[in-house]
Structure 1
Amino acid sequence: MKQLFFLLSVLFFHCATGIAQNINQLKKQYQQLTDSQKKADILLNLGKAYEKKDLDSAIFYYKKSLQLTENSNDTLEASIYSRIGGAYLLKGNYDVCLDYQLKALKIYEEKPFTEGKLKVYNGIALVYFYQEQYDKALYNFNLTEKLLQKHGDSNSAKAIKFKGKLFNNIGIIYASKKQYDLALEYFTRASTFSKKAKDYDNLSSLYANSGLIYIYSKRYELAEAALIESLQIRQKEKNLFGLCKANHLLGILYKEKRALAKSEQYLLNSLQLSYEINSLSSREEILKDLSKLMSLKGDFKQAYKYHVAFKSISDSLFNKKNHQKIIQAEMQYKFDKASHIAKTEQKQNEYLLIALAIFLSLIIVIVMIMYRLQKSKVKIQQLAKESAELSNKEFILREHSLKQELELKSKELTTNIIYLIKKNELILEVSNRLNELKKQVKKEDHETIKKIIADLKNAQDENVWKEFEVRFNQVYNDFYDRLISKYPDLTVNEKRICGFLRLNMTSKEICALTRQSYNSLNVARARLRKKLNIHNEEVNLVNFLENL
């Protein structure tokens, strides 16, 4: 009974491939391809197609696909490992199955979560189930459910389909523990999900599993209805492995009902199919039931023959050596996992030490750079200070030199002005004497003296003002340019008065230079203030011109 449930479980987790592939068409496509990845995909699909009819061929194509995939796509490689493990599970090579499933699990554990990891845990659970370690099997099934809840979308089509299969397997565990009511409860839950997902493969399995429970509880009519429904789905799907199981269960049912001829027919059909799909585990159970059937019929010779064949397969499938291999594979996986964790931790520690060394080195380098930068900064500041001091000294020296030069020019200008004033005074005195002399000479000489006086005055004015402007511009650069640009309407006399005022000359000195009276000068100053737009009497004309 345990093997029957087991085989039904394996079938629906590892043989469901959706729409049947045309094997000949796939082979033809394979011959036309040159790309390794595409050829690997075709080989994988061929393996899936053969799983329903020839397990050895399925394994052959899976391994060929694996050769093209190794070292190129880890996730696909893990998926193929899991597929090969599933095929060996169907054949009854449980130690080989576990070895391939653990290889797949090693890869999946180093990658982000994928659906393939759920299938691996399911395969491992089935190996424990076959070893009658039901608690370990149930643990792995529950672990699968937790992973699905944690990483999957519970409302997605894939998740709904997967839940139907998972609850089917959990139900099988409880059926093997003879907790039939709990098993049927899980089958009912699984049926709800499978119907919603339109997963007819799993529905067929559920009908078969429920039928088997009905057989052992002697509810034969319910069992027959469920098993015939399962058989019809298998015929429609053309699933040889499923047909093998369906015929086997119907053979058991009719044996229990004592319809021995009908039972023999279904059991022999099932045996023939087990040879076609090359499944030792299926053949083992069929031979066992044929031996019991022959005993019921009284054909003890045939019963003995079938029993010997059954024992031969049973001993090869379930013996201490295989059991030890399974335990060894499990222990090796745990050891490898622990070693991998230890190596990972060691590498992490090494990376941490390297990172710490790099961090400390960087700190040292940064400190040295900062020290050098600070040292350079101090040096630059010192140089800048020295340069500033030197520039300041040069500026002071230059300023002093300019001041001295300005003072010298100013003195020269003042001396020149004094000279001009004295010269004017002398010319004025000479002119006055000539005027006095004019009174004493003859009248005919008056015009000559008058002309001499006029010539003296004209020559004096032209030479004096040219000399004055040259000297003034040497001391006060661009004064006249700024004055004329702002006030272009000034007369020559007004510009000269502005120059005298800029030199801070007194009214007396200006009158001496210009030979004007005080009243004339005051009138000229008033007219100048008006042209300079100075309407406020409090504004000093001299200060105004200094700030021009």
Structure 2
Amino acid sequence: MNRLSVIRPFLLLLCVLSYDVAWPQNQKARADSALITGYLLKAEAAEADTAIRLYNTAIRAAEKRLREGGSKAYKDAVMRKLIRARLGLGLVYYNRIEYSKALDLNRRALKEAGDLGDTALEAESYFNIAEVYLEQSQFKNAMDFYNLSLSGYEKLKDNLSQFWCYTGMGIVQKQCGNFKDAAAFYNKALQQARSSGLSYEEAICYNNLGNVYRKTGDFANAMESYQKAVEVFRKLNDETAISDCLNNIGNLYIDNGDPFRALEYYRQSLKLAEKSKDEYRLIIRYKNLAGAYTELKDYENALLYLEDALKLAEKSGDKSFLASCNMQFGKLHEAKNDFIIASAFFRKSVNLYAAIDALPEQSEALVELANSLLSQNLVDEAISNADEALLIAEATGSLKGRLDACLCLAGCYEKDGNSLRAYHYLKSATALKDSIYTVEKYRTIEEIEAGFAKSELKKENEALIQNSLLQKQALRTKNVILMLLGISLLLGIALIWMVFRRINEAKHQAGVIRQQSDEKIGRLSEDLISKERELTSKTIFINQKNQLLEKLIGELDELKKSEVSAQSIQHLQLQLRQELAPNAWKEFEIQFNEVHPGFQGRLLENYPELTPAERRLCSFIRLDMNTREISSLSGQSIKSIEVARTRIRKKLGVPHEQNLTNFIAVI
């Protein structure tokens, strides 16, 4: 929170102006005092690490000057600078969530301011201590120190500082669940801001009032308050305050059951918080994003953001943040049906909230714990926790807390078989729901958010404006849609008809092509059968001719034994043998290639090591001829044919167990 940084520059200027009258005439003392003032002014504008170094330098310089002594006026002036340096350094540690260091520095500043009798510095010290206690959820201590600070500022008639005191006390009461008291303090702060013409502070009041309205279930007034705050913050270009308002609007949408819209606002808020590197706000943004993703069942993203939030919460040591993160872990595990683990996280959250007296949050955590226990059929324990939650909600005046507790109790008694008690609580829940979620309130929320778009939040609320326009033009849009559907239907029918027609044409054309192909295949089959018959006839003819020639050759062998000249007969035999195979093979080869085209070419290409005689033998085998038939046709002995088959099997690489005829048939 940056309330401290708003007050400090004014007080610093007041102190610097008042010191001039007390400065000694000694030039060295004047120079030393000016040097310390320079450190303070530079630290005000520096980044955290540089500011820490400059403030520590100023503290060491002031302490050294005090040890050296001097006039009372001089020492008082240096003491004021020392107090300012401690308060400034405490603020830096406060913003870095190092609360123990901040508290120690503020307490030392308070003691020194009391010894000095400076009401302004004493009031600021009280305020700074109250701020630290608030962040540590020590609400009673925070309230006491805010009151002490307010008393001092009332004496000084410092309206701005009184505004911040009332604001702090309002936050304390809100955290404790005292919403009426919180609204009262915020309204006092609002009066101070208006009377002093403080528009920025007025916007802060609206933002805080929006938080109270949200807690009490008055969503319409909450949205209206956030709108007023954002309008001012955007004019002032205060990104931190804008981030807070956007985050609060996201919370409002979560309460209304719209995590999609909430996610938009949380992302915008996170972007601004990351830009300022504000760890305090980053914890809240990460935790809220985890909650929205859990609602949307995107558990992976929910876990990533929740782990980031927990790391920063553990660093801060803030029990409120730790309780909030534990409760969100419980919701995440509950959404994943890990009810035992969820219950453990909820119990831890309840204990942490109870330790800091955060009653509204404790009530919410108790309801979550009761629902988780109910899912485990631990009905009695669930009823006990829900009853406690209802008592706290009634004491704090939280309508939504009462609604959640009544719904939980209705479910508990229904599961327990006590229908009368279940009906009683369900009836109470219905009445509370009607009070919180009326149609009129929803309409008011929508109208107010539309106002956001008209002023500054045009981009964020574009969806709302579109929804409003769609509602006004619903009938026209419906007619247009119906007309488009009718046209689309006609076009669809026409398209289907065209497609159907083309399919039929394609089928018809395919049928014609298939018929032509069948006819062509029939003709080719007939030609093939004819060629095979012719080849078979030729083969038989060649075989008969060769048998005749063999017979003649045998007879001539007999004649050689008679008086006929053996030389002339041998010459005749030689001529007959030369004509026996080649001529027959030429005729056979022509017919074979017509019936089995390409067979000889494939043999020559794939098995070039085959001799012409072996390729001729492969052709006979392709015709499924046995060894005796091949021997008769080729004029070779049966043994020669068998030897040749063995050589062919080896060259073709055909295993002994595989049939050679089948192998050659597929070549």
TM-score by length of 2: 0.45
Shift of 1:41: 2.9
What's 1:50 paired with? 173
Alignment deviations for residues 201-234 of structure 1 (CA, whole Å, 9 cap, x no partner): 2221121121123234332331222122212211
Whole-angstrom CA distance in 2 between matches of 1:129 and 1:99 = 17
**Runs (5+) with no aligned partner, structure 1:** 1-14, 340-548
Q: CA deviation at 1:252?
A: 1.4
RMSD: 2.3
> In 2 relative to 1, CA 93–290 (structure 1 residues): closer, same or farther, beyond 3 Å?
same
Amino acid at match of 1:43: Y
Are 1:73 and 2:198 matched, yes or no?
yes
Q: CA separation in 2, counterparts of 1:161 and 1:312?
A: 38
Deviation by residue 1:481-540 (Cα, 9 ceiling, x = unmatched): xxxxxxxxxxxxxxxxxxxxxxxxxxxxxxxxxxxxxxxxxxxxxxxxxxxxxxxxxxxx
Counterpart residue type for residue 111 of structure 1: L
Q: Provide the secondary structure at the position in 2 that maps to 1:110.
A: helix
Q: 1:100 to 1:213 in 2, by over 3 A?
A: same
CA contact (8 A) 1:247 1:269 kept: yes
Match of 1:179 in 2: 298
Task: Give the superposition deviation at 1:287.
Answer: 0.5
Partner of 2:441, secondary structure, is helix
1:302-329 C-alpha deviation (Å, 9 max, x unpaired): 1111011101111221232111101111
Change (3 A) 1:147 1:217: closer
1:379-390 → structure 2 map (5 Å cutoff)? none
Matched, 1:88 2:207: no
Q: Using the TM superposition, give the Cα deviation of residue 50 of structure 1 relative to its aligned residue in structure 2, in angstroms.
A: 0.8
Partner residue in 2 for 1:307: 426
1:287-302 counterparts in 2 under 5 A? 287-302=406-421
1:103-502 alignment runs, 5 A limit:
103-150=228-275, 152=276, 154=277, 159-337=278-456
**1:256: how far off?**
1.6
Q: 1:39 aligns with which of 152, 162, 187?
A: 162
Q: Could you say if the C-alpha distance between residues 124 and 262 of structure 1 is closer, same or farther in structure 2, counting changes exceeding 3 Å?
A: same
Q: Structure 1 69/240 Cα, relative in aligned 2: closer, same or farther at 3 Å?
A: same
1:487 aligns with none
CA–CA separation in structure 2 for the residues paired with 1:130 and 1:96: 14
Match of 2:185 among 51, 58, 61: 61
Distance in 2 of aligned mates of 1:338 and 1:251: 39
Distance 1:337 1:160, change over 3 A: closer
Identify which range, 33-42 or 55-64, moves more after superposition: 33-42
Q: Which has the larger radius of gyration?
A: 1
CA distance in structure 2 between the aligned counterparts of 1:114 and 1:334, rounded to whole angstroms:
18
How far the C-alpha of 1:128 sits from its partner, in A, is 2.5
Equivalent-residue separation in structure 1 for 2:323 and 2:201 (angstroms): 29
CA–CA distance in structure 1, aligned partners of residues 411 and 384 of structure 2: 14
Alignment check: 8 A CA contact 1:175 1:213 kept: yes
C-alpha contact (below 8 Å) 1:160/1:196 kept by paired residues: no
On the 8 A contact 1:17/1:48 being kept in 2, the answer is: no
Offset at residue 100 of structure 1 (A): 0.5
**Contact preservation (8 Å) 1:17, 1:49:** no
How far does residue 241 in structure 1 lie from its aligned partner after superposition? 1.5
Alpha-carbon deviations, 1:285-305, whole Å to 9, x = none?
110110111111121111111
Q: Which structure 2 residue ranges, 5 or more long, are not aligned? A: 1-133, 459-667
| Distance in 2 (alpha carbons) for counterparts of 1:100 and 1:338 | 14
Q: SS at 1:258's partner residue? A: coil
CA contact (8 A) 2:206 2:228 kept: yes
Secondary structure of 2:406's partner?
helix
Which residue of the partner structure matches residue 488 of structure 1?
none
The answer on whether the counterparts of 1:21 and 1:45 sit within 8 Å (CA) in structure 2 is: no
Quote how far apart the aligned CAs of 1:170 are: 0.8
1:146-200 per-residue CA deviation (whole Å, 9 max, x = no partner) reads 22233x1x3xxxx223222111111111111122333223212221222233333
What per-residue deviation string (whole Å, max 9, x for no partner) do you get for residues 323-375 of structure 1?
A: 11011111223334499xxxxxxxxxxxxxxxxxxxxxxxxxxxxxxxxxxxx
Offset at residue 132 of structure 1 (A): 3.2
Task: Give the aligned length.
Answer: 319
Please state whether the residue corresponding to 2:139 is helix, strand or coil.
coil
CA contact under 8 A between 2:383 and 2:409: conserved in structure 1?
yes
8 A Cα contact 2:136 2:318, kept in partner: no
| Counterparts in 2 of 1:236 and 1:215: CA distance versus 1, 3 Å | same
Contact 1:161 1:199 in 2 (8 A): no
Tell which has more relative contact order, 1 or 2 (C-alpha 8 A, sep 6+). 1
Q: 1:42 to 1:292 in 2, by over 3 A?
A: same
Which secondary structure state, in structure 1, belongs to the residue aligned with residue 314 of structure 2? Answer: helix
On the 8 A contact 2:294/2:331 being kept in 1, the answer is no
**Is this contact kept in 1: 2:136–2:319, CA < 8 A?**
no
Contact 1:288 1:307 in 2 (8 A): yes
TM-score (norm 1): 0.55
Cα deviation for residue 17 of structure 1 reads 7.1
8 Å CA contact 2:274–2:282 kept in 1: the answer is: no
